[in-house]
Amino acid sequence: MHIIGVYNIKGGVGKTATAVNLAYLAARQGYRTLIWDLDPQAAATFYFRIQPKVKGSKNKLIAGKVDLDKVVKATDFENLDMLPADFSYRNMDLRLEVAKKPTKQLLSLLRPLSHSYDYVFLDCPPSISLVSENIFRAAEGLLLPMIPTTLSLRTYKQLLDFLEGHRITGLEIMPFFSMVDRRKRMHLDVMESLQASSGELLKAQIPYASDVEKMGIHRMPVEAFAPRSFAASAYQALWMDVQERLR
């Protein structure tokens, strides 16, 4: 089971769209795939038309008293299941704090699912918190969508510092550019400067495209309603890069 987190300290960078589209592509390849919407805003859950509610998530989930398998919902797509978001996730940090081994809770919750799924995608809430630390410790790879601006670069460095400071090693960091607008000079400049300096950067880029925004209208992955679009092929390229990196 490969666990892949999709994360950024900043919100609104295309995280959820990435998790949803890549999970869909993995499932379509025949991999048994699970997407866990950890963000109380529940955008991924909305995209799959699932009710943002998890029985027992308030008190029992972090205490390990909920069998994750029992709260999983099938999406409309073969091989793709979802652990929906719940509003109570906004307080997950508080619950983690009082748990035993607070930084490894997520991993132990996911462990029983390891025979049921080939890929697990974690759609993470923005911010750096105990929840994110849990994700870093559970995941094998961390996808970092970044809008090519100077501010994004700063938050990227903040993250690297955090990982180093907390001795989180063995996590494959996979930054890539998201919401790229090639008409903007600054986007092009920032991409150029980072491409030269960072070997971790994935080659694929996700454009700023209306098809991605339309996911909210169609409530499904781009590939499912606009398979021949530029955005769809960008996600395919990204998924190929990710598989290559995790091989």
> Does 30 engage in binding with other proteins (CB under 8 A)?
yes
d(CA 148, CA 108): 35
d(CA 7, CA 122): 8
Q: What is the dihedral of CA 56, 62, 67, 69, to 10 degrees?
A: 100
> Does 73 engage in binding with other proteins (CB under 8 A)?
yes
Residue 180 CB, nearest approach to other proteins (Å): 31
Q: Residue count at the site for other proteins (CB under 8 A)?
A: 14
d(CA 223, CA 76): 13
Residue 219 CB, nearest approach to other proteins (Å): 7
Of 124, 198, 109, nearest to 156 (Cα)? 198
Among 1, 58, 60, 71, binds other proteins (CB under 8 A): 71
d(CA 110, CA 95): 17
Residue 4 CB, nearest approach to other proteins (Å): 20
- β-pair type (73-74, 172-180): unpaired
> Does 81 engage in binding with other proteins (CB under 8 A)?
yes
Residue 74 CB, nearest approach to other proteins (Å): 4
Touching other proteins, residues 87-116 (CB under 8 A): none
- The alpha helices in 198-229, defined as continuous H runs, are 210-213, 215-218, 222-225
Which residue lies nearer to other proteins by CB, 82 or 159? 82
> Does 36 engage in binding with other proteins (CB under 8 A)?
no
Among 219, 236, 237, 245, binds other proteins (CB under 8 A): 219
List interacting residues with other proteins (CB under 8 A): 29-30, 48-51, 71-74, 76, 78, 81, 219
